[in-house]
Chains A and B, each alone.
Chain A
Amino acid sequence: MNFSAQSKAFALLLSVGLVAGCSSTGGTPEEGGEYGSDVAAVDQEGGSTVYGGDDQGGVSSSAMTEEERMAAREQAEQQALREVTVFYFDFDTAEIKQEARDVLVAHARFLANNPGQSVRIEGHADERGTKEYNLALGERRANAVQRFLIVNGASRGQLETVSYGEEKPAVMGSSESAWAQNRRVELVFE
């Protein structure tokens, strides 16, 4: 998964915050370096190592830092959750499983924070049963995910649904395991 524009912006903000904090208080370069590397561990692409290295001030407030640490950790967790973009369903149902909920909430928050980002929600069914009913079932699954994302902060304009029914299996074959992997909704970020 790509680091998104949002996470880059977040890291940048974090770094700017560090610089601002340091300039007001002063401190040791070593400390500054420490914080720099800490942030860098969160997001190498964010450019935070550059700011860390430049920093002459160090950190005055450990409370602020803790907040930042938590924010960074939260950021990393959210990002890790968003690595998951495929959600599975039971036969002939469109019920979102418990384990998918946290992940979908993370996607919804991300979409809420990035109004310019759109996502295609692709609904699929396994090969069993009839093609046209499965087309409708795939749509019902995609719609269920769409509603969940909207309830959790995404806006309708960011979301497009399409059902492929049983036409585009993720896995070929007629086993329980293949069917389980084919009854799914995929989020495709565009």
Chain B
Amino acid sequence: MTHRIWYKPSRTLLAAIALIFFAVSGARAELLIRITEGADAAIPVAVVPFAESGQMPAGDKAGSIVQADLSMTGEFRTLPPEKMLSLPSRREEVYFRDWRLLGQRYVLVGSLTRSGDRVQARYELFDVNREERILGETAAAPASNMRSLAHHVSDKVYEAITGVPGAFSTKLAYVTLDTANGKPRYRLQVSDVDGKRARIRLESQEPILSPAWSPDGKKLAYVSFETGKPVIFVHELGTGKRTKVADFPGLNSAPAWSDDGRSLLMTLSKDGNAEIYRMNLESRQLTKLTNHWAIDTEPSWDASGKGVFFTSDRSGGPQIYHMETPGAEPRRITFGSRYNARPRPDNDGQYVYYVHQRDRAFHIARTELKTGEETILTRTESDESPSVAPNGRMLIYATRQNGTNVLTVISADGGAAYSLPASEGDVREPAWGPLVR
């Protein structure tokens, strides 16, 4: 079943939203999470703490992770456990009247059972008004991987309620910048979407830019200045093996994977001017897709995987263009202001998201492709690097808050938001990883 969810931030609600900080554990470079805005029409959901049998690993409880996952989307309003009248873990223990009284639309109950080094979760989701079970499943994971198990449950619950797969099990890649021994320290990191379980994949004194996920989620392509100039590397996350794939004279930048993972779009200026190329990763053969005296850069495949969005200043300032097929005559998409750049498609071909200048501020905006209608999605003013979640419901971007660079996640229509500041220093260049089944 599907619910269309509308949410529009209201000033009063915004004022009432508490800042929520989850504890930071482990590495200093981990991201914090801060929910800055909820949605007016958030759906009330009660996530009842899961019953436990057997020894559970230390750390956050599965139920509280699920609760946090659902809350941070802004699409749900979760009920604090202390307000619950009972803590059921099975269908027989659920009294719908109680939950109706508490104003809940859905109730999630479940239990965790330890056997050996694994934990099994059994969980059920109920529609309170219809008094129906709409989801009932079991899932298991190593005890050391409780967070993955909890995110999996969140994905299923999200899908059961909205009809769209959840993206809680996906990963974020981003770059942090701080100072170590008086020198800049850039770190390419990969974490869960809530900023937890961050792992450093590359550390450098020189800038790291534009991480891009391979479709299977196993590799990152990115731009590193470690050799003194921008060079594109492909990095296998499992093995840590890195391959220099583009080191031509001039720019080697803006990598973007094709759907089949076999080629990269990229910007090269080896012939004197920034142009977009496609590189076959096996043969390393290059195909030039643009040929214009202007800057052409920031390519991205469209939702169909056949056409290419990119930024070009051929009209005098940067604007978004689209080629129906690689190399076809580009069509200009944006007209609303003199600066529109870094396009990223949604997942169903309805919208393109990008950085948009309005007066002196840089926001994230989107244009509906069918109508050309443009909507500004953010109120922040130094916004960069939008990246759309693989389920199309959220997007992440980089912005400035109180003088530091943070990541912010918003719903695809700009309603709800949470931000992910680094515990120390700056964080930038977010890339939302694919759904990996």
The reply to whether chain A is a binding partner of chain B is: yes
**Footprint of B on A, CB under 8 Å?**
92, 127-133, 135-137, 139-140, 143, 161-165, 167-168, 174
Among the interface residues A132, A133, A135, A165, which one has the most CB atoms of the partner chain B within 10 A? A132
Distance in Å: Cβ of B316 to nearest Cβ of chain A: 9
> B272 — which chain A residues lie within 8 A by C-beta?
143
A135 to B385 Cα, complex, angstroms: 14
Give the nearest-CB partner of A128 in chain B. Answer: B362
Say yes or no for B250: interface residue by CB 8 A criterion: yes
A143 to B339 Cα, complex, angstroms: 22
Are A130 and B230 touching (Cβ within 8 A)?
no
Are A129 and B341 touching (Cβ within 8 A)?
yes
Given A128-B362, A132-B298, A174 and B342 touching (CB < 8 A)? no
> B209 — which chain A residues lie within 8 A by C-beta?
131-132, 135, 165, 167
> A140 — which chain B residues lie within 8 A by C-beta?
274, 295
Query: Can you show 7 pairs from A to B with CB atoms below 8 A apart?
Result: A128-B382, A131-B384, A131-B385, A133-B295, A136-B274, A139-B251, A174-B403
> A130 — which chain B residues lie within 8 A by C-beta?
298, 311, 318, 341-342, 355, 384-385
A133 contact from B228, B297, B382, B429, Cβ within 8 A: B297
**Footprint of A on B, CB under 8 Å?**
207, 209-210, 225, 228-230, 250-251, 253-254, 267, 269, 272, 274, 295, 297-298, 311, 313, 317-318, 339, 341-342, 355, 357, 362, 382, 384-385, 400, 403, 429
Give the nearest-CB partner of B403 in chain A. Answer: A174
- Give how many A-B residue pairs fall within 8 Å (CB-CB): 80
Distance in Å: Cβ of B275 to nearest Cβ of chain A: 10
A168 to B209 Cα, complex, angstroms: 13
Give the nearest-CB partner of B250 in chain A. Answer: A139
> A139 — which chain B residues lie within 8 A by C-beta?
250-251, 269, 274
A136 contact from B207, B267, B317, B429, Cβ within 8 A: B267
A128 to B229 Cα, complex, angstroms: 21
A162 contact from B229, B313, B341, Cβ within 8 A: B229
A137 contact from B225, B295, B382, B403, Cβ within 8 A: B295
Distance in Å: Cβ of B246 to nearest Cβ of chain A: 14
Are A136 and B297 touching (Cβ within 8 A)?
yes
Known: A163-B251, A174-B382. 5 other contacts (CB 8 A): A92-B313, A129-B355, A132-B298, A165-B209, A174-B403
Are A92 and B295 touching (Cβ within 8 A)?
no
Distance in Å: Cβ of A29 to nearest Cβ of chain B: 55
A133 to B254 Cα, complex, angstroms: 9
Distance in Å: Cβ of B210 to nearest Cβ of chain A: 6
Q: Enumerate the 9 nearest inter-chain pairs by beta-carbon distance, A residue then B residue, closest first.
A: A167-B207, A136-B274, A130-B342, A136-B295, A130-B341, A132-B254, A132-B298, A133-B341, A136-B297
A78 to B377 Cα, complex, angstroms: 53
Are A133 and B318 touching (Cβ within 8 A)?
yes
Give the nearest-CB partner of B316 in chain A. Answer: A92
Distance in Å: Cβ of B162 to nearest Cβ of chain A: 31
A129 to B385 Cα, complex, angstroms: 10
